[in-house]
Amino acid sequence: MKEVLSTTTAERLQKVLAAHGLASRREAEDWIRAGRVQVNGAVVTELGLRVEEGKDMIQVDGKPLTVRERHQYFLLYKPRGFVTTRKDPEGRPTVIDLVKDIPTRIYPVGRLDQDTEGLLLLTNDGELAYRLTHPKYGVEKTYHARMRGNVPDPVIKAFAEGVMLEDGLTAPAKVKVLEREGGATRIELTIHEGRNRQVRRMGDAVGYPVVHLTRVSFGPLTISGLKPGAYRPLKPQEVRALQAAAGITKGNKKQADIKGKEAIKAPGKTGEKNKLAKPAGPGKGLTSVPGRKTDGGFGSDKTGFGKRPHSGVHRQRKG
Ligand code: URA
């Protein structure tokens, strides 16, 4: 096997695969572990390898990597009932069914539950998707949640300060009550962790289940102007705004990586040991944790070649 270069221009193998729009970074890691990826003729199954495009010969399933595709970014209003995956083994409708006329292979950025609606980004920019969803970059997502019952203020406060779930205490969140009526409470909740089913689990943990959930914003982008099932391409300034939310601009990607690492280490960030708040039923007292701030971070826009981006809003196709 030819020696694999390890210069400053070399990048991790999974990152290169994701940047080609072949898969998300996590999927690329699975491919590597499964022995589907070769570098300079040898199968690689470890994740740490750095490669240099143009110098190292990279193959997936025996096929060489081709030129990087142009990155494309779309914002979809995911309706309820669709699963956030490219292909569902159970045959349920997927978000990809809603964007069938986009010829590029794009992937959902993170996940919304089948029963959750709202803003979902789709892209073939695996690196950007990774940074948008990894908790270390702390990109904020805002939800409108309708909760069963008249949620008392101490419980609202617990949402802001941290709720104990089986995978640990949630990080401090921004929360406000939008409406209390008809035996239900509507809240606006901004979180930056992206744990699985986080908002619904928070509702269950405090004894006020979430009965309707909509993601209304992701970083600087909002869902306004789109109807369920419709999607549109992001404007260049929106892509830049996503990058800026991550503290990144072209040319300072390394800086953003450093910021991301600091975010992990900073006191009071995700991963800090639970000190206080506990699950509680309606009306139960909830202990407080000190207020903590959130950071943002992600993304790089790489240019390439490929298909022309769409313009205008698209509606869901029938049938
Ligand atoms: N939290 C949830 O509970 N569900 C989602 O889909 C997103 C966040």
pLDDT per position as a tens digit, 63-75: 888 767 788 999 9
Model pLDDT for residues 167-179, shown as the tens digit of each residue: 999 999 999 999 9
Token pair of 107, please?
A: 């992937």
Which position has the token pair 């990087």?
A: 68
pLDDT of residue 34 exceeding 70:
yes
Give 259's contacts (C-beta < 8 A, 6+ positions apart): 247, 295, 297
* CA–CA distance, 70 with 301 (Å, rounded to integer): 10
Among 121, 129, 137, smallest CA distance to 23 is for: 129
> Can you tell me the distance from the alpha carbon of 18 to that of 126, in angstroms, rounded to the nearest whole number?
4
DSSP bridge partners of 148: 184
Q: Which of 69, 144, 56 is nearest to 104 (CA)?
A: 69
Could you tell me how far CA 112 lies from the centroid of its own chain? 9
Q: Kindly report, residue by residue over 53-99, the tens digit of the pLDDT.
A: 878 889 999 988 876 778 899 999 999 999 999 889 999 999 999 99
Cβ–ligand 1 contact at 119 (below 6 Å):
no
Distance in Å, CA 49 to ligand 1 centroid: 34
Question: Which residue ranges form the domains of the chain, and what is each CATH number?
Answer: 11-64 (3.10.290.10)
pTM greater than the 0.85 cutoff: no
Q: Residue 270: what pLDDT?
A: 35
- Say if ligand 1 is within 6 A of residue 72 CB: no
For residue 66, the model assigns a pLDDT of 73
Residue 197 CB–ligand 1 contact under 6 Å: yes
Query: Which own/partner contact pairs does 94-99 have at CB distance under 8 Å and 24+ positions apart?
Result: 95/120, 95/122, 98/229, 98/231, 98/316, 98/317, 99/74, 99/231, 99/314
pLDDT tens track for 6-18 = 445 788 898 888 8
Dist. CA 25–CA 126, nearest whole Å: 6
Question: How far is 16 from 34, CA to CA, in rounded Å?
Answer: 17
Alpha helices in 112-197, H assignment, sequence order: 126-133, 153-161
Question: Catalytic one among 88, 97, 113, 153?
Answer: 113
Report whether residue 83 contacts ligand 1, using a CB cutoff of 6 Å. Answer: no
Residues 6 or more apart in contact with residue 282 via CB below 8 angstroms: 149, 151, 152, 155, 206, 207, 208
What is the separation of C-alpha 184 from the centre of its chain, rounded to a whole number of angstroms? 29
- With a pLDDT cut of 90, the percent of the chain lying above it is 54
Q: What is the pLDDT of residue 104?
A: 86
104-141 pLDDT, tens digit each: 889 999 999 999 999 999 998 888 898 899 888 889 99
SS3 188: strand
Q: How far is the CA of 201 from the centre of ligand 1 (A)?
A: 8
Which carries the bigger pLDDT value, residue 269 or residue 166?
166
What pLDDT shows up at residue 8? Answer: 53
What's the CA-to-centroid distance between 78 and ligand 1, angstroms? 12
At 309, the pLDDT band (50, 70, 90 cuts) reads very low
Does the beta carbon of 239 sit less than 6 angstroms from any atom of ligand 1? no
Task: Give the closest residue (by CA) to ligand 1 atom 4.
Answer: 197
pLDDT tens, 244-292? 887 666 655 444 444 444 333 333 333 333 332 333 333 332 322 222 2
Which DSSP category does 222 fall into? E
Q: How remote is the CA of residue 195 from the centroid of ligand 1, in Å?
A: 8
Active site residue 113: yes
Average pLDDT for the chain: 78
